[in-house]
Amino acid sequence: MVGHRGSERERRRLFDDLYAETFSEVLAYCRRRSPSAEDANDAVAEVYIVAWRKIDEVAAAEKPIAWLLSVARGILSNQGRGRGRRNKLLDKVGREPVRLGIDPAEETQHDALVAQVFESLKRLTPLDQEIVALATFEGLSHIEIGEVVGKRPSVIKTRLYRARQRLREELAAGDETSGASSLGGEQSTQSTRGTQ
């Protein structure tokens, strides 16, 4: 019995340490992928419920944050399917579901650029969207991204390179067709390379 309490104490300590070290990253990951703060908070709570149940597995993971983000990815995917089913049901009964989005006419130039980037991201495959987001927003390495999405690091490296290249080309093409001035930073440098 004493051994059991000791192991329970150890599990609690492991969980508390994990939570303290990873909570802000898991929350940020979920917020970027959820339509509302409530959905993000629900997902985070579910992630840590799973982590508590499998604390020995998480503790043994080489990169616990990658393990947690993999769990979060699955939970968010389930939430998305649930929203889709709800919206279909609402459409079926004749009510229009609430649509989330940004009105580009009301955006500043910066907001318009951000909207353009996210529009371009939507044209990538779902896997490439996730890889770009994990690298860009979460700052994960190719190895960690591979753990989250279940692919080898070499595949991640190639897909990330190609996805970023498609995004650059699309943003440069969008800049040219809209007649807008420089997108700033890397995009403006790249759009002038061909003329040098």
Specify the pLDDT at position 47. Answer: 93
pLDDT class of 118 with cuts at 50, 70, 90: confident
Cβ pair 52, 15 in contact under 8 A = yes
Higher-confidence residue: 57 or 91?
Answer: 57
Task: Give the per-residue pLDDT at 50.
Answer: 92
**Residue 29: per-residue pLDDT:** 92
pLDDT of 186 > 70? The answer is no
Q: What is the end-to-end Cα distance of the chain in Å, rounded? A: 76
Q: What is the DSSP string of 12-48?
A: HHHHHHHHHHHHHHHHHHHHHT-SSHHHHHHHHHHHH
pLDDT digits (tens, 9 = 90+) for 83-96: 666 666 555 555 44
Q: d(Cα 30, Cα 105) in Å, to the nearest integer?
A: 28
The domains located in the chain, with CATH, are 1-100 (1.10.1740.10), 102-185 (1.10.10.10)
Contact 65, 25 (CB under 8 A): yes
pTM: 0.50
Tens-digit pLDDT profile for residues 144-154: 899 888 999 99
